[in-house]
């Protein structure tokens, strides 16, 4: 009798409505922090933070802490849908 390996990865999808690019998809270890996904999604959408604007990830309409792990957000589905949001940098 074999035992199933525990699932240790989380599939991610990042949408960015103002981009012509399709969604970003990635699979990450569950201990990956949100910032890693944000940086990869920004590269996919060809955007960068600058003095005027920054980009954040939201999940269920709430801004996610960049240091939070994917595992701490996941509800057991091992799949997370994020949205990349452009925000004005206060200066």
Specify the CATH number for the domain of residue 69: 3.10.20.90
Task: For residue 45, give both structure tokens.
Answer: 């959408």
b (16+ CB within 10 A) / e for 8-27: eebebebbbeebeeebbebe
pTM of the model: 0.89
Is residue 55 in a domain?
Answer: yes
Average pLDDT over residues 6-28: 92
Report the alpha-carbon distance of residue 19 to residue 15 in Å, rounded. 9
Question: Rounded mean pLDDT of 5-30?
Answer: 91
Domain hosting residue 30, numbered range = 9-88
Domain for residue 4, yes or no?
A: no
Q: Would residue 2 count as lying in a domain? A: no
Residue 38 included in any domain: yes
Domains in the chain: how many in total? 1
Asked, for residue 42, whether it belongs to a domain, the answer is yes
């Amino acid at each position: 009798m074999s035992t199933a390996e525990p699932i240790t990865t989380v599939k991610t999808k990042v949408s960015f409505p103002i981009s012509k690019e399709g969604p970003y998809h990635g699979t990450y270890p569950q201990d990956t922090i949100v910032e890693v996904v944000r940086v990869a999604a920004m590269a996919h959408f060809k955007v960068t933070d600058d003095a005027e604007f920054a980009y954040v990830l939201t999940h269920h309409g709430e801004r996610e802490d960049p240091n939070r792990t994917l595992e701490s957000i996941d509800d057991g589905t091992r799949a997370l849908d994020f949205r990349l949001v452009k925000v004005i940098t206060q200066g």
